[in-house]
Amino acid sequence: MSIYSHRLRNQGTIVLTFFLFLFDIRKKICIFAVDNHPNVITIVKIIYSHLIYQIISNTRAMPKAKSISLVKPFVKWAGGKGGLLPSLDALLPANFADLANVTYVEPFVGGGAMLFYMLGHYKNIRRAVVNDINADLIHCFKLVKDNPQELIERLRTIENNYYHCEANGRKELFYAYRDQYNKTTISDDERAAVFIFLNHTCFNGLYRVNASGKFNVPYGRYKRPVICNEKVIMADHELLSSIEVVICTPGDYKNISRYIRPQDCNFIYFDPPYRPLLDEINFKSYSNSPFDDKQQEELKSFCDVLANRGCFLMLSNSDSKNTDGSSYFERLYEGYNINRVIAPRLINSFPQKRIPQTEIVIRNYL
Ligand SMILES: C[S@@+](CC[C@H](N)C(=O)[O-])C[C@H]1O[C@@H](n2cnc3c(N)ncnc32)[C@H](O)[C@@H]1O
């Protein structure tokens, strides 16, 4: 009996998805499933609808770049949004592709998965504003935008040095470059190349600094890491130079405020450092400045100001709980629209925690 009803329910899901597809309300499928039915069958539905949505979103894309598959982050980044893009796309303002004069703003850009996705898919984005507190990361974005050839040449030299070493030699080379990176005497451009090399060869692509600001992630033991990904850098360069892209001086997210023009349609995507789940040790240190609850609250006030200035806001974070079990972000962002989506946590220091988790998406529009 229960197997029979299970089968019927699954058949129902297939038929429902098909009709939703026909009636062009597909964007709501995966969000509907996550929000309403947190049980096992629903997880199957979510994965199923997610796959369907991925197929659909790939076919409806409006690529500006030559090859959309190459338009992706040139660094691996903890908390990167690569696995969440279809769900975030489904939560964009209605008819986003038809809005005029769009400025896309990302104050915590990290690897820029969402930035590259948005610039690659929405040709109505005329301007972008990019910010992060990590100075080397921001310098890499500047080089990719303005001087990719020089960056590629530096990376190719490092890659050749690395590939010519035996296993032990590669490890030694990694630590030699890490020491060089931690010295202030190295030029900004060389530092950017070493930063990308360390990112591709260190443990899990993490960026972590100690109390004195020194990068301290150990060697990662990859068989043949790609260090100079020329095609990706050039595809990213093409996008970043195809419209006006403001790369802010590295610093706090509030930097973006001065680049919000009232005459534009401003869409701002915030992806701040994750608030730890209650049982999780906060291992992500992107810089030596922590992002604690006081800063989460300040960010909420900043969102209120931008909402009053007429911006569209989307913010993602962990589905973190208060000690009484209530949702931290539902309480903090009361009055905003809140959805839950499923995301694979690809970078976690605990392998057993690299499993799909719900994340929260907060918006000031429906
Ligand atoms: C969750 S990551 C963003 C990941 C990004 N969405 C991606 O797909 O790679 C958070 C980012 O916020 C940056 N960050 C931390 N504190 C910040 C602050 N106060 N202002 C601006 N950026 C900050 C970190 O350097 C990190 O790159």
Q: For residue 255, what is the domain's CATH number?
A: 3.40.50.150
In-domain check, residue 225: no
Among the candidates 45, 69, 93, a domain finishes at 69
Q: Which residues pair with 209 in a beta bridge?
A: 215
In-domain check, residue 210: no
Distance 110 CA to ligand 1 centre (A): 5
Query: How many residues belong to the chain?
Result: 366
**Tens-level pLDDT at each residue, the chain (366 residues):** 343 444 444 455 444 444 444 444 434 444 444 444 444 444 444 454 445 444 444 433 444 445 677 889 999 998 899 999 999 999 999 999 999 999 999 999 999 999 999 999 999 999 999 999 999 999 999 999 999 999 999 999 999 999 999 988 999 999 999 999 999 889 999 999 999 999 999 999 999 999 899 999 999 989 899 999 999 999 999 999 999 999 999 999 999 999 999 999 999 999 999 998 864 544 444 555 579 999 999 999 999 999 999 999 999 999 999 989 999 999 999 999 999 999 776 555 566 656 678 999 999 999
Nearest to 181 by CA among 164, 165, 193, 169: 193
What's this model's pTM, rounded to 2 decimal places? 0.82
Residue 342 CB coordination number (10 Å): 18
Most informative mutation of 105, 286, 302 for ligand 1 (most atoms within 8 A of CB)? 286
Structural domain of 183: 149-205
Number of separate domains in the chain = 3
Domain identity same for 354 and 266: yes
Domain identity same for 249 and 355: yes
Domain identity same for 112 and 84: yes
In-domain check, residue 125: yes
For every residue of 41-97, DSSP letters joined together read HHHHHHHHHHHHHHHHHHHH----SS-GGG-S-SS--TT--GGGHHHHHHTSPTTGG
Q: Which residues pair with 127 in a beta bridge?
A: 103, 244
Domain identity same for 101 and 241: yes
What residues flank ligand 1, with Cβ below 6 Å?
77, 79-81, 107-108, 110-111, 113-114, 131-134, 252-253, 271-273, 286-287, 291
Among the candidates 43, 69, 95, a domain finishes at 69
Question: What is the Cα–Cα distance from 325 to 278, expressed in whole angstroms?
Answer: 9
In-domain check, residue 114: yes
Among the candidates 51, 69, 87, a domain finishes at 69
**Contacts for 23 with CB less than 8 Å, ≥ 6 apart:** none
| Helix, strand, coil % over all residues of the chain, rounded to 5 | 50, 15, 35
DSSP conformational letter for 228: -
Q: How far apart are the first and last CA of the chain?
A: 40
Domain identity same for 102 and 169: no
Q: Which residues pair with 269 in a beta bridge?
A: 314
Question: What is the Cα–Cα distance from 155 to 196, expressed in whole angstroms?
Answer: 8
Nearest CA to ligand 1 atom 5: 110
Domain identity same for 242 and 133: yes
Domain identity same for 65 and 76: no
Domain identity same for 269 and 347: yes
Domain identity same for 191 and 64: no
Pair 126, 243: CB distance under 8 Å:
yes
Domain identity same for 295 and 246: yes
Domain identity same for 240 and 194: no
Distance 109 CA to ligand 1 centre (A): 6
In-domain check, residue 224: no
Domain identity same for 283 and 344: yes
Most informative mutation of 85, 132, 314 for ligand 1 (most atoms within 8 A of CB)? 132
